[in-house]
Amino acid sequence: MDLGLRDRIYIVTGASTGLGFATAKALAADGARLVISSRSEENITRAAAELGENVVGIPVDNADPESAERLAATAIAKWGALHGALISVGGPKPGTALDSDEADWQAAFNSVFLGGLRIAKSVARAGSDGTSIAFVLSSSVKSPIPGLAISNGLRPGLAMVAKTLADELGPNGVRVNGLLPGRIATDRLKELDGKGGDPEVARRSAERTIPLRRYGDPDEFGRVAAFVLSPAASYLTGAIIPIDGGALRTF
């Protein structure tokens, strides 16, 4: 199936590793041109080199109010157009609602929530016909995850922002969707599994709760994200899509 991605231009944030990198890889493999970002200049330079000549990497922090316009301006300057973005950011600091510091809540709000909203607005303003925006959220949109209180608090609100943007931008032909990764085998998940002492024990226990009985591979997420961003999904907007092996027990 041709997704229609060749020579289309996308921004992918949080793209040096994990779900962002997997999505960038899927987009680049189908001929898209990319501006990818992360906070680490070393890591994003390495990721861009790995993905090929049609990928530009720049170090930005989503929490920085100037990052959104910088990303869009880089895409326009380099490729002459912009067709969408995957908005991803590293997960907030783990902790309980009672014990998490207010500073950690504020930092996560600035990067996860405000940063994501700024980027979406910037892409919507600069985007060409058929612009598509996808937020990387979490299964915590539907059901809280123990030990991730800050994520539990912020992700559902951002999901509602995504649906609101879909309503507001739809008349302009801009699509906005949310993606809910479940247990995908990223470094972030390995770190969280290790909090209890034995990550393999934690993984085996978690896999028993997933109908497919395994963790997802980042590339499995990346392929779904690439489809959602692509012209092939041209009638898909306002959707909140779980990519979780069936783990969520809600609609």
Output the DSSP codes for 98-156: TTS-HHHHHHHIIIIIIHHHHHHHHHHHH--TT-EEEEE--GGGTS--TTBHHHHHHHH
Average pLDDT for the chain: 95
End-to-end CA distance of the chain: 28
User: Which domains does the chain carry?
Assistant: 9-183+221-240 (3.40.50.720)
Give the per-residue pLDDT at 80: 95
Averaged over 12-20, what is the pLDDT? 96
Give the per-residue pLDDT at 244: 95
Averaged over 110-128, what is the pLDDT? 95
Phi, psi of 217 (to 5 degrees): -90, 140
H-helix or E-strand containing 199? Answer: helix 199-207
Q: Is the pLDDT of residue 196 over 80?
A: no
Given pLDDT bands bounded at 50, 70 and 90, which one contains residue 72? very high
Give the per-residue pLDDT at 239: 98
Does 152 or 187 have the greater pLDDT score? 152
Q: What is the rounded distance in angstroms from the CA atom of residue 71 to the CA atom of residue 77?
A: 10
Q: Is the pLDDT of residue 194 over 90?
A: no
Please write the tens of the pLDDT for every residue from 84-97.
999 998 788 899 99
Does 239 or 92 have the greater pLDDT score? 239
Please write the tens of the pLDDT for every residue from 139-153.
999 999 999 999 999
Provide the whole-model pTM: 0.95
